[in-house]
Amino acid sequence: MNNQDKLKKLVDLRAEAKLGGGEKRIAKQHSQGKMTARERIDILLDEGSFEELDMFVTHRCTNFGMEKTKFLGDGVVTGHGTIDGRVVYVYATDFTVFGGSLSETLAQKICKVMDMAMNVGAPVIGINDSGGARIQEGVGSLAGYSEIFQRNIMASGVIPQITAIFGPCAGGAVYSPALTDFIMMTEENSYMFLTGPKVVKTVTGEDISVADLGGADVHASKSGVSQFKVENEEEGLLLIRKLMSYLPQNNLEEAPLEETNDPIERVEDSLNSIIPDNANKPYDMMEVIHSVADNGEFLEVHRNYAKNIIVGFCRMGGQSVGVVANQPSFLAGVLDCDASRKAARFVRFCDAFNIPILTLVDVPGFLPGSGQEYAGVITHGAKLLFAYGEATVPKVTVTLRKSYGGAHIVMSCKQLRGDFNYAWPTAEIAVMGAEGAIEVIEGRNIAALEGEEAQLKYAEEKINEYEEKFSNPYNAASFGYIDDVIEPRNTRFRVIRAFETLQTKKQSNPLKKHSNIPL
């Protein structure tokens, strides 16, 4: 074979590898509204930046006649490229090859790019469209999953890890996405579950569809497994690109800083009147976030889950910032099990990757009831408390209205090493609301009075007295627990100035193997 023949062979093999399982299977993939692995990578990465690795790898299985059928690449496309000029490593399972099922060699390909990403300190993005373990390989496939999981664990908090679920993801395969930082699912074709509908029916007798058991809606709103739900794959891939713009390459880098044309000193007069005079009336915290963020842009995370708390990313003065905010327009912004878990995980992610945290507080307390207590609200609330107390990144807290009891503590209070704790003049910082407090403090005295009118008058006087003392931020400010009371319209300027001041902050935790966060 001469050199020209050798070159032709290379070209032909590359063309064969790029066809994956062949044109018929690609056509079937398209007919189901799904892209191929390579089409997904082309949208995700900067044009022309993808460098593929291990294109010629094939499986080594000889069980059940598997040696007769081999495809170049063996069901996963791996390599590296750039997003907005920044290096990322990617892998995308190819459903046209053995249903994207995981073989020993497929796992080795994924592990190789994960190892490379760790060596150079670059994010890993996985695109999952797989039928699960390749049954013909038995324990070899299970070992492959385990190798991937171990790398997910080692990479956690070192490099960002993002997973897109663009097809099936079932059984043990779900644990790699679950170990990553962010999961994205599409409305039509995505599903995740440990045991499928047939097994559920056999074991429990429950009849349930794939979508109701593990679809995007379920995991985005009920289980909280998925942080993002998108209409289609293209929207999801572009959203990953946007998400990456807020994240550093690794845990040794600072959060991204971009130029902005939005003036730091911009005032927002609407904030001076956003808090209703009636303390029991809601307002939309999203309006506050959009008002203080650069150009009003905010990327919400976990939008459909635990809506009583908001988490996500924005820029302030060009600086990438993580936002945690109670949402008074949903369940009055109360904290519960789900909201505590959601916020705690987000705070820990921001702390791991040097992203400053802005906390906007309007919280009446923890949701009462046996359902919450039985679900472990004590432990879940402690997660949020732990996350804030452990975090060493710059932390700025602004209390807008209510901040009561234990919920006040867990929302980045001064004693949890809050760097700057501001309050609006409308802030109410106390153990509990006025009516509940007077019932406890003055209950016996009220009951001892004769006549309902006398009791109501006395109770009203005491409630007014309590409100005068605590329905403002000045009592907390007198102890130094609030650093300053600020005019709402100046919030953007004061917060950005605080973060600028904190750019050189250095804080560390005691030397330890690792903490024992209340799980």
Q: Is pLDDT at 66 greater than 80 in this prediction?
A: no
Percent of the chain whose predicted confidence (pLDDT) is above 90:
74
**pLDDT tens-digit readout, 287-311:** 999 999 999 999 999 999 999 999 9
Q: Does one domain contain both 207 and 286?
A: no
Q: In angstroms, rounded to a whole number, what is the distance separating the alpha carbons of residues 310 and 276?
A: 20
For residue range 152-202, list pLDDT tens digits in order.
999 999 999 999 999 999 888 899 999 999 999 999 889 999 888 998 999
Identity at 55, one-letter amino acid code: M
61: pLDDT strictly greater than 70: no
Residue 7's Cβ-count burial label (10 Å; 0-12, 13-18, 19+) is: exposed
| Residue carrying structure tokens 């927002």 | 268
Between 458 and 24, where is the model more confident?
A: 24
The answer to whether residues 514 and 390 touch, using CB atoms and an 8 Å cutoff, is no
Catalytic: which of 157, 172, 196, 436? 172
Same domain, 326 and 223: no
Give the pLDDT band of residue 216 (cuts 50, 70, 90).
very high
Judge contact between 471 and 491, C-beta under 8 A: no
Residue 376 among the catalytic residues: no
Active-site residue flag, 344: no
* CA gap 190, 210 in Å, rounded: 10
Task: Decide if pLDDT at 48 tops 80.
Answer: yes
Angle at Cα 164 formed by Cα 115 and Cα 342, nearest 5°? 95
Give the range of the structural domain holding residue 11, as residue numbers without chain letter. Answer: 3-244
**How far is residue 176's CA from residue 152's CA, in Å, rounded to a whole number?**
7
pLDDT for 460: 83
**Cα–Cα distance between 268 and 492 in angstroms, integer?**
8
User: Is residue 175 in some structural domain?
Assistant: yes
Q: 461 vs 332, which has greater pLDDT?
A: 332
pLDDT in tens, 361-371: 999 999 999 99
What pLDDT, on the 0 to 100 scale, is given for residue 20?
Answer: 77
Nearest to 345 by CA among 508, 126, 177, 157: 157
C-alpha to C-alpha distance for 185 and 232, rounded to whole angstroms: 9
In a domain, 516, yes or no: no
Q: What is the pLDDT of residues 397-429, one digit of tens each?
A: 999 999 999 999 999 999 999 999 999 999 999
Among 171, 236, 333, 389, the active-site one is: 171
Q: What is the mean pLDDT of the chain?
A: 93
- Same structural domain, 210 and 329: no
Per residue in 268-289, pLDDT (tens digit) is 999 999 999 998 899 999 999 9
**Which listed residue (196, 224, 405, 406) is catalytic?**
406
Q: What is the largest CA-CA distance in the chain?
A: 111
CA distances from 291 to 239, 257, 259, 284 (A): 22, 20, 18, 12
Residues 453 and 495 in one domain: no
Confirm if 342 and 325 have CB atoms less than 8 A apart.
no
515 is a domain residue:
no
Q: Quote the pTM value.
A: 0.94
Q: Is 172 a catalytic residue?
A: yes
Count of domains in the chain?
3
Query: How far is residue 34's CA from residue 189's CA, in Å, rounded to a whole number?
Result: 8
Record the tokens describing residue 457, joined without a space.
């008058």
Domain final residue pick, 209, 244, 279: 244
Active site residue 65: no
CATH number of the domain to which 219 belongs: 3.90.226.10
**Kind and range of the H or E element at 345?**
helix 337-352
Choosing from 133, 407, 430, 477, the catalytic residue is 407
pLDDT: is 17 or 511 the higher one?
511
Q: Is residue 517 assigned to a domain?
A: no
